[in-house]
A and B are shown apart, each in its own frame.
Chain A
Amino acid sequence: MSSEWPLWEVFIRGQHGLHHRHVGSLHAPDAEMAICNARDVYTRRNEGVSIWVVKSSDITASSPSEKGPLFEPSNAKVYRHPTFFEIPSEVGHM
């Protein structure tokens, strides 16, 4: 059996309450060690307050050939973006 440690993807939430963000990957024998390694590798400069790890092989990714069907419909839904709506300046910031 291979002794190569599996690959994990690392997600870190920084100080400012934003979402967890993918920062890179690393190897570890299991999830607990992946968390420890992520702390040592990816937060050397105080980058984060919360860490998620997920085995790379457990990630299901969209396939690039479906990029059109997956993402173009949302391009058409411009009303989802706040700039779609014109707000009279008299009402102030919204």
Chain B
Amino acid sequence: MPSLTDVMTADADLTRAPGIRTIAALGAAPENAFAEWLCRMGDNCLILGHRISEWCGHAPVLEEDIALANTALDLIGQTRLWLDLAGEVEGKGRSADTLAYLRDAAQFRNVLLVERPNGDFGHTLMRQFLFDAWHIEMLRALQSSADPRVAGIAAKAAKEVAYHLERSADLVIRLGDGTEESRARMQTALDRLWPYTGELFMGDAVDQAMAEAGIAPDPASLRAAWDSTVAEVMATATLVRPGGTFQHRGGKQGRHTEALGYILADMQFLQRAYPGAVW
């Protein structure tokens, strides 16, 4: 049982945080850390793509319905690239589909932010913006990865994500600086989602191993650019950056919110109900 102060410390060093595996626990093999890290990239895309695909047919206006589906399609495409590579690096013959459909929640490595429920359309767009602003910095950095496969996927994905960010930032600005109601809704969304953004920048042993191998940047190094994008957009949107410092964490290590179980129950239903069937 961790002490109360330990749990309550906002920026506790995650490598010392309770329940977080060290590189030794990963079997010390760098390829395990690499596969783990690739799952993080893929799972972020998979779960966020799943979430926004829930809007298809239900968006406030046809144009947005179509636009959001494009983003979802991009993310599902990126999922396949990252998870296929994760399976290849892992070397146990698992494909992107096996990883997506046959792991249980505790094996998922996405950040908690992307599994948060959609809420209203503004909430969905705010979550998208906060993620996109991180995603683009991550992909930019990955284009100079020591692993050419990673650099290749990042180059392709970065083009798509640059557009995602352009759209989500634009809509956050417009809705923030829209009517009183739209501003209030966007502020609420920001306040609720804010405690899920810190995890994007918290490193652990896996991240450390990736940074040392030159495969991926130290997550903390992306913070400054993200902060400045977010500050600029929020200022133009007339929204106020929340003051609290508490941040949730755990998704990257497999400790999720209740929401993920429901997502997987939906997503994996057919594969679980008909084991071994081809579709």
- Contacts of A80 on B, CB cut-off 8 Å? none
Q: Is B191's beta carbon under 8 Å from chain A?
A: no
From A14-22, A37-45, A64-72, A85-93, give the one contacting chain B. A37-45
Taken together as a complex, chains A and B put the C-alpha atoms of A41 and B67 apart, in Å, by 7
A40–B61 contact, CB under 8 A? Answer: no
Contact with A along B61-85 (1 / 0, CB 8 A): 1110011001000000000000000
A36–B67 contact, CB under 8 A? Answer: yes
A36–B70 contact, CB under 8 A? Answer: no
Total residues of chain A contacting the partner, CB 8 A? 12
Instruction: Specify which of A5, A29, A37 is in contact with B67 (CB 8 Å cutoff).
Output: A37
Q: Is B140's beta carbon under 8 Å from chain A?
A: no
- Contacts of A44 on B, CB cut-off 8 Å? 66, 70
Which A residue's beta carbon lies closest to that of B166? A36
- Contacts of B63 on A, CB cut-off 8 Å? 26-28, 37, 40-41
| CB contact under 8 A between A41 and B61, given known A36-B167, A36-B170 | no
**How far in angstroms is the closest Cβ of chain B from A85?**
49
**How far in angstroms is the closest Cβ of chain A from B33?**
38
Total residues of chain B contacting the partner, CB 8 A? 10
B70–A5 contact, CB under 8 A? Answer: no
Which B residue's beta carbon lies closest to that of A34? B63
B66–A40 contact, CB under 8 A? Answer: yes
- Contacts of B62 on A, CB cut-off 8 Å? 27
- Contacts of B170 on A, CB cut-off 8 Å? 32-33, 36
Instruction: Specify which of A27, A32, A36 is in contact with B61 (CB 8 Å cutoff).
Output: A27
Which B residue's beta carbon lies closest to that of A3? B179
A5–B167 contact, CB under 8 A? Answer: no
Taken together as a complex, chains A and B put the C-alpha atoms of A32 and B170 apart, in Å, by 10
Taken together as a complex, chains A and B put the C-alpha atoms of A28 and B62 apart, in Å, by 10
Taken together as a complex, chains A and B put the C-alpha atoms of A22 and B216 apart, in Å, by 45
Pick from A26, A32, A33, A40 the residue with the most CB of B within 10 Å: A40
Which A residue's beta carbon lies closest to that of B63? A37
Taken together as a complex, chains A and B put the C-alpha atoms of A5 and B170 apart, in Å, by 17
Which A residue's beta carbon lies closest to that of B68? A40
Which A residue's beta carbon lies closest to that of B70? A40
**How far in angstroms is the closest Cβ of chain A from B142?**
25
**Chain B residues within 8 Å of A, Cβ to Cβ:** 61-63, 66-67, 70, 166-167, 170, 174
A-B contact pairs, 13 of them (CB 8 A): A27-B61, A27-B63, A28-B63, A29-B174, A32-B170, A33-B174, A36-B170, A37-B63, A37-B66, A37-B67, A40-B67, A40-B70, A41-B63
> Which 5 residue pairs across A and B have the least CB separation, nearest first?
A40-B67, A37-B63, A40-B66, A41-B66, A40-B70
Given contacts A33-B174, A36-B170, 17 further A-B contacts (CB under 8 A): A5-B61, A26-B63, A27-B61, A27-B62, A27-B63, A28-B63, A32-B170, A33-B170, A36-B67, A36-B166, A37-B67, A40-B66, A40-B67, A41-B63, A41-B66, A41-B67, A44-B70
